[in-house]
Structure 1
C-alpha cells in the first residue's frame, strides 16, 4: 500500500500547527498567552440575531433537513444586501447560493470546475484555501503578486502568455487576508476586462467587505459591467456580525458557476441548520448599527496595536481594512523566517501570531497579527513585546533550519 494517499501528498504539513503546539504547551505550563494568531472574532453575536435563532429553534419543524442551497428568504436577503450596499442586482434563484462559510464554498466550487492539470492563478501570500482548494481538486497553482496594482496585472498577462495549459481561473481577495490590501473599482475593471478577453473565471473572496477604516467602503467585483459573465463572489457573516462558529456564507454572481456549486453541494450537504439560516436572514435584514460598532471596535484596536508596536520600535503598516496587521519581521530577526520568529515571540513575549509562510512562501518575511483581543489585553501584549525587543537577551537566535519551514 502507498505510504500516503494521493491528495494528502499534495498538502504540506499545516505550518500553523507548530506554533499552535508551542502555544498549547505554554498554556499547559500555566503561562498567560495572548493569542493574536487566529482570526477568530471575540465579540458576541448581536443580541437580535441570537434571539431570532432561539425563536426559530423552538419550532420543531426547523429540526428537519434544511435546503442545501439556502432557504428562499436567506437568498433574497443576500440579494437585498448586494442591492443596498453595491447597487448590484442579483436573482436569488439563479445567482445566489448559501454556503457553510465562504471556505466551504470556495473548496466545493474548485472541486466542481477543476480538471486535473488545470492552471489556477492565486495571489501569494493569500488565505490557504485559495490555493489548496484547487490543489486538492487536482490543479496546478501559479502565484501572482498579492498587491492590487500593475504588478498583479502584468503578472496576469505573463501567466496567460507563458502558462501551459492556459489559466482557467483567478482568485482575488480584497480586503485581503493576510495582507490587508484593499482594491478599488478601477483595478477590478481592469481585471474583469482582461479575464473576459481571455476566458478566465474569477473567484472573489469578499469576506472582509465590512471591515474597513477609511471613508470609502470596499467595492464588489460584481459592480463592474460584465463581471457576472465570468465572476462569482464569496461573502460571509463570520466577521461582519461576529458569527464565525455559525458557518454561514454565500456565493453570488455568474449563474453557471452558481449552478455548478449548487449541484456539487446537493450531493454533499443539506445546508446549514435551518434556525441558523433564519437568524442569518435577520442579520442581513435587521438593524445594521451593530456593523458600524464592530468596525469602530476594530479601528480602535488597530490604532492601539500599530501605535504601540511603533513605540516599541517595530514599524508595522496601519491596515486600511480586514481584522489583521501584516507585520514585517523586525530586521534583526528577519533571518529567522516567520515560523522561528513566531516561536521566539511566543517564548519571550507570550504573544502568539500567525507565521506568514502559512499563507505562501512569499509571506515568510511577515507575521499576521489578528485584532481579536480587547484593548486591555492588546496593551499587555504590547508591553510584553516592547520588553522582548528591548531586552539584552533579545539578540537574534540562530538561523532557522529548513525543517522549521516545512
Structure 2
C-alpha cells in the first residue's frame, strides 16, 4: 500500500525544534557530549506546591472523566484574578477565558477558527515558527512584518502595506519577544489597537514571557491598552513562568466573540485540559509572585554570566531585561547557519540560527538560558575556543 501525505503536509518545512532534537540524539549516539542552548525548556523543577495540587486532584475520580473544552469555572476565575492582580485588567471569567493545551495549541488553532483559503495573516519576522505554520495549514497567506534592531524590534505599523492590512484577518504579535528578547511599552499596544480597529484585524498577542523579567520594569499586557479587548485576545502560557513546559496548560483571554469562536472550534477537535492540571494551574496563578521571583533570580544571574562572557569574546548582543533568551550577532564572516554549524561541528554546542525565525533573523543566533550554570559556562567556553 502506498502511503501519501497531503500536499499541505508535504509543503511543511521541518519543525525547527524537532530538527534540533534529532541532531542532539545523533551526536549522543556517537558518544559525544552535546550541550544544547537551542530550546527554551526550563531545567528548573516545577514548584512543589503545583505538583502537590496535581497529585491531590489526580486521585479524585471526578476528574477522571472528560473535561469541558471550555474549562473549569474555578480555573477561569483564577485566570481573571491573576490578570487583575498582575496587570490590573478586569476579565469576565465566564466569557473572556478559555484553557488551552499550552499557548502553542491556541496559536495554531486560531488560524483554523478565522482564516479561510487565501486570507492574509500578518506575522512578525523574526518570530516563533508556529505563527506561519498555523497560517499555512489553514490555507492562509503569511505577510511578514520586519522587526529590526535599529527599532528595538518594535513592529513598524506604518510599514505594513495598506492593501494587505485591509485584507488581513489576523495579526500575530509577541512581546516580550521570542527570539529577540525585546520588550514593548503600552504606547505600542495603543497604536496596535488603533491599527487593528481601523483595518478590522484580530490581534493575537502571544504573552508567554511577561513574567520572566529582570529589574523593576515589569512588562505590560496587550490588554492594558484601551479598547484592546474589542480587537483581540492574548495567549498566556504557564510553561516558562512556572517551569511547566511538559504539563501543556495555558489560556486565551480577551475578546468574548473570539473566545467563543475558538471554543466552538475546540469542542470539535479536543476534549479539554485534564481537570487535575487545571487545579495545578490554579495553584500557580494564586502564588505567581513567589514562584516567578525565584525563577527570575536564576535567569538574571545566568543572563549576566552569558553577556559578560560574550563581551569578553567580542560578540555583540541585544540588551534586554526579559525572557529566557540572549539574542546575539554572529561573528563577522558567518551567516546564521554557518555559525550554528561551526559550533555544532567543532564544539558540540547547539545554538539556534536566527534565520530559522525568518529572513530578518539572518545574522543572529539565539542562546537559551535554560541549562544549569556550569554547563552554560562550559558551552560558551567551547564556543570561544572555536573562534
What is the TM-score normalised by the length of structure 1?
Answer: 0.90
Alignment correspondent of 1:105: 106
More divergent stretch after superposition (348-357 vs 11-20): 11-20
Verify the 8 A CA contact 1:102 1:249 in the aligned structure 2: yes
TM-aligned CA deviation for residue 135 of structure 1: 1.5
For each residue in 1:112-165, what CA deviation from the matched residue of structure 2 results, as whole angstroms up to 9, or x when unmatched? Answer: 0011111111110100111211111111011112259598664x3443523286
Distance (Å, rounded) in 2 between the aligned partners of 1:265 and 1:213: 36
> Aligned pair in 2 of structure 1 residues 62, 16: CA closer, same or farther (>3 Å)?
closer
1:363 aligned onto 2:355:
no
What are the ranges of 5 or more consecutive residues in structure 2 without an aligned counterpart?
Answer: none
**Over aligned residues, Cα RMSD in angstroms?**
2.0
TM-aligned CA deviation for residue 47 of structure 1: 0.4
> Aligned pair in 2 of structure 1 residues 151, 78: CA closer, same or farther (>3 Å)?
closer
More divergent stretch after superposition (9-18 vs 319-328): 9-18
Counterparts of 1:364-403 in structure 2, within 5 Å, are 364-389=362-387
Verify the 8 A CA contact 2:35 2:375 in the aligned structure 1: yes
Counterparts of 1:68-83 in structure 2, within 5 Å, are 68-83=69-84
Distance (Å, rounded) in 2 between the aligned partners of 1:30 and 1:10: 34
SS in 2 for 1:168: strand
Verify the 8 A CA contact 1:69 1:99 in the aligned structure 2: no
TM-aligned CA deviation for residue 359 of structure 1: 1.1
SS in 1 for 2:105: helix
Counterparts of 1:57-76 in structure 2, within 5 Å, are 57-76=58-77
TM-aligned CA deviation for residue 23 of structure 1: 2.5
What are the ranges of 5 or more consecutive residues in structure 1 without an aligned counterpart?
Answer: 390-406
Alignment correspondent of 1:182: 183
Verify the 8 A CA contact 2:119 2:140 in the aligned structure 1: yes
TM-aligned CA deviation for residue 107 of structure 1: 1.0
Distance (Å, rounded) in 2 between the aligned partners of 1:15 and 1:284: 30
TM-aligned CA deviation for residue 185 of structure 1: 0.3
Distance (Å, rounded) in 2 between the aligned partners of 1:310 and 1:349: 19
Distance (Å, rounded) in 1 between the aligned partners of 2:326 and 2:152: 23
1:354 aligned onto 2:324:
no
What is the TM-score normalised by the length of structure 2?
Answer: 0.94
Alignment correspondent of 1:14: 15
| Residue correspondences, number | 385
Distance (Å, rounded) in 2 between the aligned partners of 1:368 and 1:297: 19
SS in 2 for 1:61: helix
> Aligned pair in 2 of structure 1 residues 147, 185: CA closer, same or farther (>3 Å)?
farther
SS in 1 for 2:246: helix
TM-aligned CA deviation for residue 3 of structure 1: 6.2
